[in-house]
A and B are shown apart, each in its own frame.
Chain A
Amino acid sequence: MNLLEIKNLHADVGGKEILQGLDLTVKAGEVHAIMGPNGSGKSTLSYVLAGKPGYEVTQGSVRYEGKDLLELAPDERAAKGIFLAFQYPLEIPGVATMTFLRTALNAQKKRRGEAELSTPEFLRLVREKAGGLGIDQDMLKRAVNVGFSGGEKKRNEILQMALLEPKLCVLDETDSGLDIDALKIVAEGVNKLRSKERAIIVITHYQRLLNHIVPDIVHVMAKGKIVRSGGPELAQELEACGYAALETEAA
């Protein structure tokens, strides 16, 4: 069964149509890359999947695990296993990262009817996941993303993903603002999460990230829809020729 099935998706933001008939099918175990120039609608797609208010679907359907995704609230989608790693993770003054992580994990568990983790269980889990991402105790005590560097924010996103163990991960330009070392740490974190049960959609502007997270399928977005799909070699072709060639092709 397809994990995610998007058909003819049209979506407006602020009265402007950004997605204009997008189709995409993702199966569990696959890693998809979505590339495309600025303004092609990549981030809009990620927000529509996560359920951000103000992103209005006007046509088409999104089915997740065979059911209508669009009727669910953002927190219901998260509990069902959808995770969006934000391009610009938000700062939350006054909320300690630990509190945030624990509230999120337990809220999801509660909604799924699972037992919440005890404090020692939770601490052990966080320590285990954080270590590999180079996130120390001090960072966990600080308010969520407040005063974090760009790299720390992105690593924090990956930590949340590792902790919440989603079925569908959407990484929205996770490589933006990262130097090569940080990129490697983040990519390694993502690669650890690759599994038969999980699908990953990597949204990126550059091919660079895809050297570290090698996708099974590469899609090219332009003007609100997917205009080409292919194997990893498509990313290299784009890197060589640029999006301009492709846009004339699509037009």
Chain B
Amino acid sequence: MNAEVRPIRTAAEQALAADYQSAKKRLPGGPAFARLREQALAAFVEGGLPHRRIEEWKYTDLRTLLREAAPLADPPDKATFARAKKFDPLPGVDVRRVTLINGSFVGELSDLVQPEAGLTILPLSRALAEGHALASRIGRLLPPYYDATLALNTAFVADGIVIGLAAGSKLARPIHVRHLFTGAAAAAAYARTLVVVGEGAIATVIESFEGPDGVAYQANTTAEMQLGDKAWLEYVRVQAEGDAAIHLATVLADIGAQAKLHTCSLTVGAAVSRQSVFLRCTGAGSETRLSGATLLRRKQHADTTLYVDHMTQGCSSREMFKSALDDESRGVFQGKIVVRPGAQKTDAKMMSAALLLGDAAEADNKPELEIYADDVVCGHGATAGALDENLLFYLRARGIPRKEAEALLIRAFIGEAMEAVPHEALREALLARAADWLAAREHAA
């Protein structure tokens, strides 16, 4: 190797590399996966944690934000199961629920029985240990550039969920992968979800992330989604981590010909969060719709960074991201659409809008188009602004108190990002979580 090797600089970087050396013997997977881990770690040793001079991480300086590498989280104890059992982050939605606590699959809190025809669902640890056919699909999708959080996930991940849908099959109810963190001390949890949707198969997969307030835990999650031709996946994620947590998520998807991928994310939690989304339209004529609502208060920081790669012709993509930023919070949106030379008839539109509710709130919007084809329709828009005082007055002139009037307008603003979720109960549950945030804001005043 004659590549220039950048020396590891920070304590956190050194600790992570050392943690890997002591943990690697306990991590599941055969020789092939062990090689993936080694490669990922080597990339991390070389690349380190990203900082503000790395363009993709300009607004989220992870090297500064991740000062200490928390020790790997212990598997959960049984005492926490009872509490976790009662806890339902999306009430009223009929789902097949699987639970991960501190990154470990918890069979007692997971429903894997009687999967419908065509559905394969099992813990990732088991898939790796048994060398399940689906395990070989893990780690296939890679971002266009080195990504530290994904590298760390690949190196450290011990468990997660593997979901496979055979061609032509249809999930009877959504699968809800519930990620919980429990414990009073800072710790790091890594989890990965693999979703392989066969040709023409239809599924809804939900992931939620929650944990206690006041604990500086670090949750690193990766979702890998592989959509066959004509597959249709609805993917919803709810990030409601505890208020001191760092949440680092990577979402990767390959979208086959005429397939549909619709995603919606709701971000309300964590002190610092980042979701990196890397999509590749690999087959012609696919339809991608990404939407997200981010609701932040106090000093919360949330970063959504998208990379949508139109590799072939006739694919459409729509991105609609809304954020409501209260107090001193900061919302970051970076969206890049790449249209490759052969990707004619691409139809891509990206929109991000931020509502600045707090005087010290900040929105950073960075849309980018990189187009190498000449017969395409591409556009982007970005807005940032305060609530319309004239609208507030209109509502107040009808007797609606100021905070309530604000809540109505904020809900209308962010609601647009959740409207497209076709599953009605799920959409209502998402709106209800947003309403909880608004209610807390109303009562805080």
Contact = CB atoms under 8 A, between A and B. Distances in A.
A43 to B, nearest CB: 13
Contacts of B409: 92, 95
Given A52-B393, A90-B390, A92-B394, A75 B412 contact: no
Given A92-B412, A94-B416, A95-B408, A107 B394 contact: no
A115 to B, nearest CB: 16
Contacts of A104: 395, 398-400
Contacts of A143: 412
A7 to B, nearest CB: 23
Contacts of A137: none
B410 to A, nearest CB: 10
Interface in B373-418: 389-391, 393-402, 404-405, 408-409, 411-413, 415-416
A34 interface: no
B391 A90 contact: yes
Interface in A89-141: 89-90, 92-95, 99-100, 103-105, 107-108, 111
B399 A78 contact: yes
Given A93-B412, A94-B416, A103-B404, A111 B399 contact: yes
Chain B contact residues: helix, strand, loop or mixed? helix
Given A103-B404, A103-B408, A92 B391 contact: yes
A107 B401 CA distance: 7
A107 B399 contact: yes
B411 A160 contact: no
Of the four ranges (under 10, 10 to 19, 20 to 34, 35 or more), the interface on chain A belongs to 20 to 34
A53 interface: yes
Contacts of B400: 75, 103-104, 107
A164 B397 CA distance: 11
A89 B397 CA distance: 12
Contacts, number: 77
A75, A103, A160: which has the most chain B beta carbons within 10 Å? A75
A90 B388 CA distance: 11
A206 interface: no
B401 A53 contact: no
Interface string B94-133: 0000000000000000000000000000000000000000
Contacts of B404: 103, 107
A172 to B, nearest CB: 11
A111 B398 CA distance: 12
Interface in B37-73: none
Nearest to A145: B394
A75 B396 contact: yes
Contacts of B412: 92-95, 143
Contacts of B413: 94
Contacts of B394: 86, 89-90, 92
Interface string A60-94: 00000000000001110111000110100110111
A78 B398 contact: yes
A50 interface: yes
B396 to A, nearest CB: 4
Which of A73, A94, A108 neighbours the largest number of chain B CB atoms within 10 Å of its CB? A94
Contacts of B415: 94
A89 B391 CA distance: 10
A75 B401 contact: yes
Contacts of A75: 396-402, 405
A50 B397 CA distance: 6
A247 to B, nearest CB: 31
Contacts of A111: 399, 401
Interface in B290-309: none
Contacts of B416: 94
B391 A78 contact: no
Nearest to B393: A52
A71 B422 CA distance: 47
Contacts of A95: 408-409, 411-412
Given A73-B402, A94-B412, A94-B413, A53 B389 contact: yes
8 contacts: A52-B393, A74-B393, A84-B397, A90-B391, A93-B412, A94-B412, A94-B415, A94-B416
Given A100-B398, A104-B399, A164-B399, 12 more contacts: A50-B397, A52-B393, A53-B393, A74-B397, A75-B400, A90-B390, A92-B391, A92-B394, A94-B412, A94-B413, A95-B408, A105-B399
Q: Which 5 A-B pairs have the closest CB atoms?
A: A94-B412, A78-B399, A108-B399, A104-B398, A74-B396
Interface of A: 50-53, 73-75, 77-79, 83-84, 86, 89-90, 92-95, 99-100, 103-105, 107-108, 111, 143, 160, 164
